[in-house]
Amino acid sequence: MSTSGRTRILGIGSYGPERVVNNNQLSNTVETSDEWIRTRTGIQERRFASDEQATSDLSLEAAKKAMEDAKVLPEEIDLVLVATITPDMAFPSTACILQHKLGLNKVACFDLEAACSGFLYALDVADAMISSGRYSKALVVGAEKMSSIMDWEDRTTCVLFGDGAGAAVLSRDGDGPELLGFYCGADGSNPSLLCQPGGGSALPASADTITGRKHFLKMNGREIFKSAVRVMESSCRKLLDQHNIAIEDINHIIPHQANMRIVESLSQRLNVPLGKFYCNLDRFGNTSAASIPLALSEAVHSQRIKPNDLCLLVAFGAGLTWSSTLVRF
């Protein structure tokens, strides 16, 4: 039983849709090649949800596994947060839809939108809500159906992303890895670097937004690459400084799974061997808010992370947003 007074991860689970599409298969419909994708990104294959599966369905599978892992009953959950940029619909929230699909009580539910940093932002928010004493057991999900906003005519983006979900149950009552600290930041000065321009209040859906392909993800890959490496490094250093922890004391880093070259640059800048980074982007591509919980769940359930290990999670994404979290196993 928890004695430190810190929020713990009671259980974690993930879900990858059944449909696996490798780079060669993608090159049948997109003007690209396995060689280009592999050397530029490290991605070999990704999962795509079926037409019938919405983000809440992906969330459902991951949430069921996390709740089973945590050994909590549906009636014990009193808060649901879903981090996503591909909600089932603009409103109501995917968290509300998930609440019903899981058969939970009529507890507080909301979505959180911080793009690829969303899951780590959601851990910070859930920890604060639990620490207030007003909530006891939170279900925190990162889930995306990125294939629903891909422009299959834009080879510079559509080869990079995939679908998936990861979930964790958090509480101060019970056993599990401790959440030691959080750091979140953002820079909203250049939203067009990575965005979905159409469909919001700035550019409501119209025939023009459809013909102009404004409902798809748009990205300036080169600029994002440069920012990603810089903000991930500073985000790690800020959190470690706050907690007086040396980078050498970190056993595992779980970075946002966007691009292997970004991870390699981060490894060099932090002077941390690549072997300490857990990566599964070769099999999932970039699943945005699902990326960290998917990787964390795999690392935990494959017994790669041992008791007492110190784990640093770090993400960046559209906004720009960035976030890091320290977990003691």
Ligand X SMILES: CC(C)(COP(=O)(O)OP(=O)(O)OC[C@H]1O[C@@H](n2cnc3c(N)ncnc32)[C@H](O)[C@@H]1OP(=O)(O)O)[C@@H](O)C(=O)NCCC(=O)NCCS
Residues designated as active site: 116, 256, 286
Question: Binder to ligand X among 99, 235, 257, 259 (CB under 6 A)?
Answer: 259
The one among 6, 101, 155, 328 contacting ligand X by CB under 6 A = 155
Instruction: Give CA–CA dist 39/123, Å, rounded.
Output: 33
Cα–Cα distance for residue pair 119/116, rounded to 1 Å: 7
DSSP-derived letter for residue 93 is -
Cβ atoms of 321 and 184 within 8 Å: the answer is: yes
The owner of tokens 């459902």 is: 60
Distances (CA, A) of 39 to 35, 42, 53, 162: 6, 6, 31, 18
| The only residue of 96, 258, 279, 314 in contact with ligand X, by rule CB under 6 A | 258
Q: Of 96 and 262, which has the nearer Cβ to ligand X?
A: 262
CA–CA separation, 2 and 175 (whole Å)? 6
Q: Is 99 exposed, middle or buried (0-12, 13-18, 19+ CB in 10 A)?
A: buried
Q: Is residue 32 close enough to count as binding ligand X by CB under 6 A?
A: yes
With CB atoms as reference, the residue minimizing the distance to ligand X is 221
Q: How far is the CB of 137 from ligand X (least distance, A)?
A: 30
For residue 45, CA distances in Å to 77, 163, 178, 224, 284 come to 35, 11, 33, 22, 6
**CA atoms within a 13 Å half-sphere pointing along the CA-CB vector of 249:** 13
Q: For ligand X, which is the closer residue by CB, 56 or 259?
A: 259
Q: Quick one: 291 or 297, whose CB is closer to ligand X?
A: 291
- If one asks whether residue 139 binds ligand X (CB under 6 A), the answer comes out as no
Binding residue for ligand X, selected from 2, 21, 36, 251, defined by CB under 6 A: 36
* Range in contact with ligand X (rule: CB under 6 A) among 52-60, 73-81, 223-231, 247-255: 223-231
Nearest residue to 82 (alpha-carbon basis) of 125, 119, 52:
119
For 89, the 3-state DSSP assignment is coil
Smallest separation (angstroms) from ligand X to the CB of 113:
14
Sole binder of ligand X in the list 224, 250, 253, 270 (CB under 6 A): 224
Instruction: Compute the least distance from the CB of residue 219 to ligand X, in Å.
Output: 6
Q: Considering only 33-41, 59-67, 72-80, 231-239, which stretch makes contact with ligand X by CB under 6 A?
A: 33-41
Measured from the CB atom, is 56 or 227 closer to ligand X? 227
Site residues, ligand X (CB under 6 A):
32, 36, 40-41, 116, 155-156, 159, 194, 219, 221-222, 224-225, 228, 258-259, 286, 317
